[in-house]
Every structure is written in structure tokens, then in C-alpha cells.
Amino acid sequence: MRRDDEAAAESLAELSKFFRSHPVTGPAGHSYIASEARPTRVHAGAPANLTVVDHIDATVAELADYTRQANPEAGTLPPRVEAVYEWCAENTKNAPQDVQQRRDTIVYRQHLEHAIAMGDTKVVRPIRCPACRTLGLFWKREISRAICTNARCLTKDGLSHRWTLARLAHAQIEDRQKSVRVRAT
Ligand SMILES: [Zn+2]
């Protein structure tokens, strides 16, 4: 299986390639790619692209914040946006277990976010519902939540369970952590 950070880096690379090939002229400065030549071409899809830029910015900022908190010695960010995952992993590889688990959760959540940003909503399908443990999550764009389609899996108000990507990532990484511990004993 592909590692989450590789998958996340790959989709972030795709996103930033998308951004670069669809230049934006919006007023928002791009803090991360700012060192590169400023695009001047006006593109019809600018509003959507600004969302992509915001998404990339937020991704990098979150990882940078996490990494510098975990390791104040972490140096400057790498020049290529997708290399931020490697940079983060390298600078936190000796961090305590819980700090590394937090990183894995962020990376996994970002991997899901990148996929959904590119329209790949099927990315939630292989994840088990944290409540009923079955497969069958369905992404609902309008509410930005994954809904459990198991008819018997309901909240106490009789509604389908709805999960944020953060909650799913947290559950997924917890599960993996547990299975690692089981294998180790
Ligand atoms: Zn469920």
C-alpha cells in the first residue's frame, strides 16, 4: 500500500501543478509560491483557482506550524510545495509517539482533503464508519461530511451518522496504531 505521506505529496503536487498551469491574477498574495514568477495571464477560472491556492497555502501552513512546534530546530521550508511532507517527516521522526501520531493524522486528513478538492469523493469509501465499523461512507459535498449509508447506523436522533474528514482521519490512524500494537505483542 502507498504511504499516506506519499499519496498526500502526490496529490498536492498535482494541485500545485494545476495552480501553476492555470495562473491566477487575484489580489491575494501567494505566500508560498511567491518566489516564483508572478502569473500575469487572466484566466476565466480565477475564483476556483483562488480556492486551490488557499487550499495549498493552508496545507503548507498547517504542516509548517505542526513541524516547528514539534521541532523548533526545523529549518526553512523546501522550495517545492509537495516536498513539505518529506520535510515534515524528516524533522519529526524522533518526536514522541503521540506527536508523530498527530502528524500522521494531519497527513492522512490532508490526503483526503486533496483528493476531494480534485473531485475524487470516492476517497472516503475504503474507510470504515467510526460508529458501525462497516464500509459504505458517502461524501456529501453540500455539508462537507461523509455520511454512513448503513440504514441501521443512526444517531440517537434517528439520523445517519455524519463525519468530518478530521474525525475520519483520527479514527483511521487510531485503528492503525492499535493494529501495530497488537502485532507487536
Ligand atoms: Zn455507520
C-alpha cell at 50: 483562488
pLDDT score, position 119: 86
pLDDT of residue 44: 46
CA of 166 to the centre of ligand 1 (A): 16
What's the gap in Å between 150 CA and the centre of ligand 1? 6
Rounded to the nearest whole angstrom, what is the distance from the C-alpha of residue 134 to the centroid of ligand 1? Answer: 6
In angstroms, what is the span from residue 125 Cα to ligand 1's centroid?
A: 12
Question: What pLDDT is recorded for position 49?
Answer: 64
Residue with cell string 505483542: 185
pLDDT at residue 144, as a whole number: 94
- Predicted local confidence at residue 31, as pLDDT: 36
Q: Going residue by residue through the chain, which has 185 residues, state the pLDDT in tens, using 9 for 90 and above.
A: 468 888 888 888 877 776 565 544 434 433 333 334 444 444 444 455 667 888 888 999 999 999 999 999 999 999 888 889 999 999 999 999 999 999 999 999 999 998 898 889 999 999 999 999 999 999 999 999 999 999 999 999 999 999 999 999 999 999 988 887 787 77
